[in-house]
Amino acid sequence: MSKFSLSKAPSQQGKIALVTGANNGLGFETALGFAKLGAKVILACRNNEKAEEAKRGILAKVPMAELDILLIDLKNLGSVRRFAEEFKAKYAQLDLLVLNAGIMATPFSKTEDGFESQMAVNYFSHFLLTNLLFPILKKTTNSRIVSLSSIAHKNGKIDFENINAEKSYSDWGAYSQSKLACLMFSYELQRRINSAGINAKSVAAHPGLSNTNLAQNSPWISKVLFGPLSKIIGQNAKDGALPTLMAALDPSVKGGEYYGPDGFMEAKGSPTKVKSTGRSHNVSLAQKLWQESERLTGQEFIV
């Protein structure tokens, strides 16, 4: 496989791409990459001012970029539903859906819907969003869904008895669980796409260790170390977005694959196909997680 670079990626003229958390960090770089290739990009963000600033940032680099802002708060299932309705009212096509927005190792909090916040933002809302947009993804030939996971998935366990911190809470434990859930969802979605014979790909990616705002609400030690550490052993957001862009754009990518950096401990480097834990490939666990996600989001997800 030759090394991926944006300059080698196919034109995305006429395509529609949606990126959650597009105002910052990896999401911004992903949206910028799609815009450079000519896609119309929907910036799915929770804060209009930040989204407008990101839009200006992209336009400064790609003056002809076609951009639209749609607001979504992934801490709220009602907001996800409203967003999906708004999207469906405006667009009849969705080529690239990037489930990027996330929070990391935040202090304990519950959402209005009763979810633990990291599970809500990183996983459950993206599960519901994909479900609600699936009819459009299904209609769009060769659509792709890219889920953001993390090296942290390796420490993750899906604890069905405590999935929303009903019994106890660990900030890093909940993050790892959420990122394992994103990866298992990506694999399970592809299995269901295959069974249904649909022309779509579900692919996962992780950015290694990338210098972004992700640790802003993490425990103080992680917050203090994240920036310097990501500069020393990790990479900048532009390079960190390359595995996502490869997963979304490279013609050689197959559904059910996982992309990350090829360097030491996958913290930085050129994007390549990477491996994930045995647990992430556990089919019965993934099916149970899918059913539990349907139950908790209150919506059956038929692929």
Binding-site ranges for ligand NAP (CB under 6 A): 21, 23-27, 45-47, 50, 72-75, 100-104, 121-122, 148, 150, 206-207, 209-210, 212-214, 230
The residue (of 12 and 178) whose beta carbon lies closer to ligand NAP is 178
To the nearest whole angstrom, how small is the minimum distance from the Cβ of residue 28 to ligand NAP?
Answer: 7
Bridge-based pairing state of the strands 96-99 and 143-148: parallel
169 is catalytic: yes
Token pair belonging to 187: 């694999």
Q: Smallest distance, Å, CB 51 to ligand NAP? A: 8
Going by C-alpha positions, the residue among 77, 44, 21 that lies closest to residue 293 is 77
Nearer to ligand NAP, 156 or 207 (CB): 207
Decide whether 35 or 140 has the Cβ nearer to ligand NAP.
35
Q: C-beta of 289: minimal distance to ligand NAP in Å?
A: 18
CB 245 within 8 A of CB 4: yes
CB of 105 to ligand NAP, least distance (A): 10
Question: What torsion do the CA atoms of 9, 97, 20, 49 make, to the nearest 10 degrees?
Answer: 70
Contact 128, 185 (CB under 8 A): no
Query: Looking at 169, 175, 187, 259, which residue is catalytic?
Result: 169
Residue 23 or 177: the one with the smaller Cβ distance to ligand NAP is 23
* Closest to ligand NAP by CB, 12 or 210: 210
Closer to ligand NAP by Cβ: residue 203 or 214: 214
Annotated catalytic residues are 169
